[in-house]
Structure formats: structure tokens, C-alpha cells
Amino acid sequence: MENFNLKAGTIYLRLVHENDAAFICSLRNNDQLNTYISKSTADEEAQRQWIVNYKKREEAGEEYYFIICRNSDDLAVGSVRLYDFKEEPKSFCWGSWILNENKTKYAAVESALLVYEAGFGCLNFKQSHYEVMKGNDKVHSFHLKMGAEKVSEDSTNIYYIFPKEKYEKNKVQYSRFLG
């Protein structure tokens, strides 16, 4: 299992634990936050069991689910997940990215940079791939500003890739966010 040390100026990422089930349910079932994510159970016990099963995939290095926490007081403010690891090209997907009302001003950019640090710096992927639901204009704009490349779309999603080289440039450009 990977030993991550992912900390930025105002937030850090830590791997999810079973006792995060209630927090994850609160994020994924908040109507102000869940418009553009897949539906999830509100049943905390079912979420806890999902985490138990996920931890086996984490142990096998197949995916990683993080809780986003504030540096100032360790308060959980969001979640993000790395999954769908591919070999050709060596790529990872990221999603389940949710930040609640307690997030810091720069939590979005900092958590994205830390996701890329995990994928490129820790896990040695060459690119990231992901989809964003149509209509999620703020997230589309965010990814394009970060340097994502639109590769296709269908009736529901727009698909992007983000090469490691873009992250290397962003690390310099956005260094003030990395602490």
C-alpha cells in the first residue's frame, strides 16, 4: 500500500476510514452538492460496508479514496477518489470530488493539485482521464484552466485527459497553493 503525504497550504488529504461513512453520506446526499455525481446510499451502514470492501482495493493498490481536511483544525470538508487505473497509457481517473460549505477558500485548487501529486508523483502515472457531466460549467471551466484536454463527449459527459507534463508546469505556476 502507498504511503501518501499530501498536504497543501490550507488542506490535506488522508485515506478514508470506516468511521468516515456518516460524513461521506452527508456529502453525497446533500442536494446542494450532489447534482453532478452518481447517486449514493444514505444508509450509513451500507456506506461503511462499501468502505470495508474498498479498503481491500486500496490494500491491493487498485484505488484510493481520500477525505479532504482543513489544516487548521483537521475538519473534514470533502472527498476525492483515484480509480480506474490503466496501463496503456498509464493513466488514472479521479472523481467523487465534493467539497462542502466548510471548505477553505483554495480547497478546490489545492485538492486538485494534491490529486495530481498522488497520481503523478506518488503512483507514477503518465496521465489522468476523467469525465465531467454536461451542465457542470464551473468544473468544466476549472479543468480547462488547469490545462485539461477535451478528448470526446456523449449525451451526458465531456471526457478529458490531463498529461503529467501539464501537472509539472502547474506545480510551478500554482506553487503558492502547495505550502
Q: What is the pLDDT of residues 154-176, one digit of tens each?
A: 999 999 999 999 999 999 998 88
pLDDT digits (tens, 9 = 90+) for 122-153: 999 999 999 998 998 988 899 999 999 999 99
Q: Which CATH architecture has domain 6-178?
A: 3-Layer(aba) Sandwich (3.40)
pLDDT of residue 26: 85
Given a cut of 90, whether residue 39 has pLDDT beyond it is no
Rounded to whole angstroms, how far apart are CA atoms 112 and 85? Answer: 17
CA distance 68 to 97: 9
Instruction: Say which DSSP state 18 is in.
Output: G
CB of 115 closer than 8 Å to CB of 127: no
Angle at 119 between CA 108 and CA 96, to 5 degrees: 50
Average pLDDT over residues 34-62: 83
| AA letter at 158 | I
Can you tell me the mean pLDDT for 63-78? 98
Q: What is the pLDDT of residue 6?
A: 97
Q: Which sequence spans correspond to the domains of the chain? A: 6-178
Q: Which amino acid is at 52?
A: V
